[in-house]
Amino acid sequence: MKRKKIVIIGAGPGGLTAGMILAHRGLDVTIVEKRDRVGGRNAELKVGDFSFDTGPTFLHQKFTLDEVFVEAGAKAEDYLEFVLLDPMTKLTWGDLTLETTCNIEQMEKNIEKAFPDHGSGYRRFMADHAQKLGAIYPCLQRPYHELKAFLSTTLMKAIPYVATGKSVVDVLENYFHDDRLKLAFTFQAKYLGMSPWRCPALFSILSYIEYRYGIYHVQGGLCKISEAMAKVFEKNGGTLRLSTPMKEVCWSGSCATGVRLENGELLECDDVIMNADYGNVVTKLLNGRSRPVEEIEKKKFSCSTFMLYLGLDTIYHDEPHHHIIFADDYRLNVQDIQGERIVSDDMSVYVRNSSITDPNVAPAGQSGLYILVPTINDRYGYDWEANKHSYRDKVLDRIEQKTGMKDLRSHIIAERILTPVDWRDEADVFMGATFNLAHTLDQMLYLRPHNRMKGTENVYLVGGGTHPGSGLPTIYESGRLSSNMLCERHNIPHTRVDLAPQFV
């Protein structure tokens, strides 16, 4: 039988996952990637001699990554060196700090030290969330392209956790009365680019997954994951074409017959998988089926990030690998971001100092600091060009005040700034909303763009803009779900690998 031809647009984590799985299942897969490297927002960013992760720095739910490698006939450990971080993250509110760990006894001790009498609330949180995850996790493993999926017993079991109308902060009211400790269990909403006060209650599983199963670093940076996926893809017979932007889909009715590249070349195929950012796909790449920008702008989008990538001529050995410094008025900071207009001077700052764990990312004796400040997306066109240098100074002031890096400025020897406008223009992120469509209840499950695009027979979505959502493990899952649907269309058998059977 003739092998089915598949073209994937984009070599981000979603496209690479689908590519390596489908190539392993014997399909003839080509990935076309606009940029000169793989990884998308998960690509390596070089600044002088320093190597940074452009985006993701926390790998949680590692078992999902392991699963998609196995589904592609490979073992993640053969390609990547994982380091379970313990301690995980230092959290700072003014003078108070909490060091988080996935060691349950140690975490309870740390909580008791910083927040006396809150240890038992932590124990209850962990016990309740083991059950909650068991109910919700299976819902994230199936597609919601048909309304009947909404009536499935899997979703029915999760309904008490999903349809509550509550936020993750509301959930934490049941466990802790100190607002700062509630934040230690809800700031993970930021991984979805959301406010903890608005992020649906079901996402309290995020902090549970982190505190129960830990977070990992990958030596060389998390960008190595995408590079490893590309190797597996090519080993499985896939064709990777870098620096090859795609222009538009070619149609026969609701069926895609191929894609046209920017250079005019036509790639005929049986199915198309879109990993490019959802907002751009539907407004720019659908050739006659594209939707007006104004219509898509009506959807809710995540926040953006202001980034500093600093090369230093020293290593701050006493500073943690991950450090989150909360805004003095965190709630106001989050409100500013959700309002999409005000850039907070009292900002929250995340600093990643991976050189204390990883000798591969900077020259000997030197280090790279990755600094992320959650901020407004580009909906109302803030003038970053005029303001980015002064904002950079405010961010550095805050780090010098709140950490042991009092002389940070004097050690900077290489530097790159990335603003929401750069995310929009250089990384093709619609509205610079780095975490894609917001994860509100009206944009989730059946109500999120489907894994097979509505109204088409053979165009699939993968990545943060489709189900289950943004974040590496969920994006890997989207790659797997869409691959499975595509295989079902062509009667290609496949077996799902589950390395976390306790949830399934």
Instruction: Return the number of the residue (50 or 58) whose C-beta is nearest ligand FAD.
Output: 58
Q: Least Å distance between CB 277 and ligand FAD?
A: 6
- What residues between 58 and 77 interact with ligand FAD by CB under 6 A? 58
Whether the CB-CB separation of 438 and 302 falls below 8 Å is answered with yes
189 is a site residue for ligand FAD (CB under 6 A): no
- What residues between 191 and 210 interact with ligand FAD by CB under 6 A? 191
Q: Least Å distance between CB 173 and ligand FAD?
A: 26
246 is a site residue for ligand FAD (CB under 6 A): yes
**460: its two tokens:** 């699939």
Q: What one-character DSSP code corresponds to residue 1?
A: -
**298: its two tokens:** 């009506």
Q: Least Å distance between CB 106 and ligand FAD?
A: 23
Whether the CB-CB separation of 452 and 482 falls below 8 Å is answered with yes
Q: Residue 357: exposed, middle, or buried by beta-carbon count in 10 A (0-12, 13-18, 19+)? A: middle
Instruction: Return the number of the residue (39 or 311) whose C-beta is nearest ligand FAD.
Output: 39
Location of structure tokens 């009947």: 148
How would DSSP label each residue in 213-232? H--EEETT-THHHHHHHHHH
Instruction: Return the number of the residue (107 or 281) whose C-beta is nearest ligand FAD.
Output: 281
468 is a site residue for ligand FAD (CB under 6 A): no
Stretch that binds ligand FAD, among 56-64, 77-85, 134-142, 169-177 (CB under 6 A): 56-64
Q: Least Å distance between CB 16 and ligand FAD?
A: 8
Q: Least Å distance between CB 147 and ligand FAD?
A: 25
482 is a site residue for ligand FAD (CB under 6 A): no
305 is a site residue for ligand FAD (CB under 6 A): yes
**180: its two tokens:** 């700062």
- What residues between 381 and 400 interact with ligand FAD by CB under 6 A? none
Closest residue to bound ligand FAD by CB: 12
Q: What one-character DSSP code corresponds to residue 67?
A: H
- Write a three-state SS string for 419-471: CHHHHHHHCCCHHHCCCCECCCHHHCHHHCCCCECCCCCCEEECCCCCCCCCC
55 is a site residue for ligand FAD (CB under 6 A): yes
Radius of gyration of the chain (CA): 22
Q: End-to-end distance of the chain based on CA atoms, in angstroms?
A: 35
Instruction: Return the number of the residue (247 or 331) whose C-beta is nearest ligand FAD.
Output: 247
Choose which of 57, 186, 355, 375 interacts with ligand FAD (CB under 6 A).
Answer: 57
142 is a site residue for ligand FAD (CB under 6 A): no
How would DSSP label each residue in 343-397? --SS--EEEE-GGGT-TTSSSTT-EEEEEEEEE--STT---HHHHHHHHHHHHHH
Instruction: Return the number of the residue (115 or 435) whose C-beta is nearest ligand FAD.
Output: 435
CA 296 to chain centre: 21
463 is a site residue for ligand FAD (CB under 6 A): yes
- What residues between 326 and 385 interact with ligand FAD by CB under 6 A? 372
Whether the CB-CB separation of 132 and 204 falls below 8 Å is answered with yes
Instruction: Return the number of the residue (250 or 475) whose C-beta is nearest ligand FAD.
Output: 475
132 is a site residue for ligand FAD (CB under 6 A): no
Q: Least Å distance between CB 119 and ligand FAD?
A: 28
Main-chain dihedrals φ then ψ at residue 217, nearest 5 degrees? -105, 155
Give CA–CA dist 72/74, Å, rounded. Answer: 6
Q: Least Å distance between CB 104 and ligand FAD?
A: 23
How many residues belong to the site for ligand FAD (CB under 6 A)? 35
Instruction: Return the number of the residue (114 or 256) whose C-beta is nearest ligand FAD.
Output: 256
302 is a site residue for ligand FAD (CB under 6 A): no
Angle between helices 13-24 and 223-235 (to 10 degrees): 20
Structure-derived torsion over alpha carbons of residues 389, 391, 392, 396, reported in degrees to the nearest 10: 140
Q: Least Å distance between CB 186 and ligand FAD?
A: 16
SS3 at position 476? helix
Give CA–CA dist 214/103, Å, rounded. Answer: 9
Q: Residue 318: exposed, middle, or buried by beta-carbon count in 10 A (0-12, 13-18, 19+)? A: exposed
Mark residue 470 as left, alpha or beta (left: phi above 0; alpha: psi -120 to 50; beta: remaining).
beta
Instruction: Return the number of the residue (198 or 247) whose C-beta is nearest ligand FAD.
Output: 247
**At a CB cut-off of 8 Å and minimum separation 6, what does 484 contact?**
143, 494, 496
* x/- map, 13-52, ligand FAD, by CB under 6 A: xx-----------------xxxx----xxx----------
Q: Least Å distance between CB 143 and ligand FAD?
A: 17
Neighbouring C-beta atoms of residue 251, cutoff 10 Å:
16
Q: Least Å distance between CB 251 and ligand FAD?
A: 17
Q: Least Å distance between CB 67 and ligand FAD?
A: 15
475 is a site residue for ligand FAD (CB under 6 A): yes
- What residues between 411 and 430 interact with ligand FAD by CB under 6 A? 428
Q: Least Å distance between CB 246 and ligand FAD?
A: 4
Q: Least Å distance between CB 498 and ligand FAD?
A: 20
Binding site for ligand FAD (CB under 6 A): 9-14, 32-35, 40-42, 55-58, 191, 245-246, 275-277, 285, 305, 372, 428, 434-435, 463-464, 470-472, 475
